[in-house]
């Protein structure tokens, strides 16, 4: 199942949607950009409540990567997280207990007993537990992704090879993808086209694996 959550309007700007997708429209939601206040967190959790962790979830730009934790909450068996991101997202939040795009991995470690470990930017996952995959496209350079965060140097082929390696050794429970750039933050037509193309390639690859 493909699900995409539209908050910033990034998918509108790109004129892109995954094949056979279920859309969750949260463009009117407030209190959720980078930091998520309790009311917004409750609204997002309610919006995704009908859907399982299985499948591929497209969760807007990197400002909303914290939504990954809400998908992880749905997993009822021991698992590990494979995170592909130019940032570890395991920092202390600057605003108390608010969930944020920079703290969600730490929050997941501390609050999700079924999550036994997390691994950053590697396909070499030890053990035999099932894996949930979370990807921020800012792990890749500008050739493959355009974002308003600093970006890494992982080629798309390296990323997909790592995904293949994980899938060859573990059961994949589900995956999510975030990242991008909106017109309101300066995205040009070329930026939107680059991101759309990478999304299409990732969607096809993940559909094959999950």
Q: In this structure, are residues 37 and 99 in contact, taking their beta carbons and an 8 Å threshold?
A: no
**Spatial CB neighbours of 121, under 8 Å, sequence gap ≥ 6:** 83, 84, 85, 139, 152, 154, 162
Confidence (pLDDT) at 1: 78
In sequence order, what are the beta bridge partners of 135? 84, 177
pLDDT (tens, 9 = 90+) of the chain, 210 residues, equals 799 999 999 999 999 988 788 999 999 999 999 999 999 999 999 999 999 999 999 999 999 999 999 999 999 999 999 999 999 999 877 666 789 999 999 999 999 999 999 999 999 999 999 999 999 999 999 999 999 999 999 999 999 999 999 999 999 999 999 999 999 999 999 999 999 999 999 999 999 898
Give me the residue label for tokens 């949930």: 132
Tell me the C-alpha distance between 46 and 199, whole Å: 26
CATH class label, 2-209: alpha beta
**Residues 59-96 pLDDT 10s:** 999 999 999 999 999 999 999 999 999 999 998 776 66
CB atoms within 10 A of CB 46: 9
Confidence (pLDDT) at 192: 98
What is the distance between the terminal CA atoms of the chain, rounded to a whole angstrom?
9
Helix (H) / strand (E) containing 22: strand 21-25
User: CB-side exposure of 7: number of CA atoms within 13 Å?
Assistant: 26
Confidence (pLDDT) at 91: 84
* pTM for this predicted structure: 0.96
């Amino acid at each position: 199942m493909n699900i995409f959550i539209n908050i910033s309007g990034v998918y509108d700007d790109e004129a892109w949607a995954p094949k056979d997708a279920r859309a969750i429209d949260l463009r009117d939601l407030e209190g959720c950009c980078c930091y998520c206040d309790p009311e917004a967190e409750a609204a997002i959790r309610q919006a995704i409540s009908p859907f399982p962790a299985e499948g591929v979830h497209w969760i807007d730009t990197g400002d909303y990567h914290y939504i990954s934790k809400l998908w992880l909450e749905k997993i009822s068996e021991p698992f590990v997280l494979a995170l592909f991101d130019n940032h570890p997202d395991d920092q202390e939040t600057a605003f108390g207990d608010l969930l944020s795009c920079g703290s969600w991995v730490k929050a997941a470690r501390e609050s999700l007993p079924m999550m036994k470990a997390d691994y950053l930017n590697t396909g070499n996952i030890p053990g035999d537990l099932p894996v949930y995959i979370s990807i921020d496209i800012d792990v890749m350079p500008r050739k493959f992704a355009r974002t308003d965060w600093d970006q890494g140097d992982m080629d798309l082929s390296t990323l997909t090879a790592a995904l293949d390696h994980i899938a060859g050794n573990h059961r994949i429970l589900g995956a999510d993808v975030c990242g991008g750039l909106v017109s309101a933050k300066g995205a040009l037509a070329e930026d939107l086209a680059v991101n759309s193309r990478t999304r299409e390639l990732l969607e096809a690859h993940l559909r094959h694996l999950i």
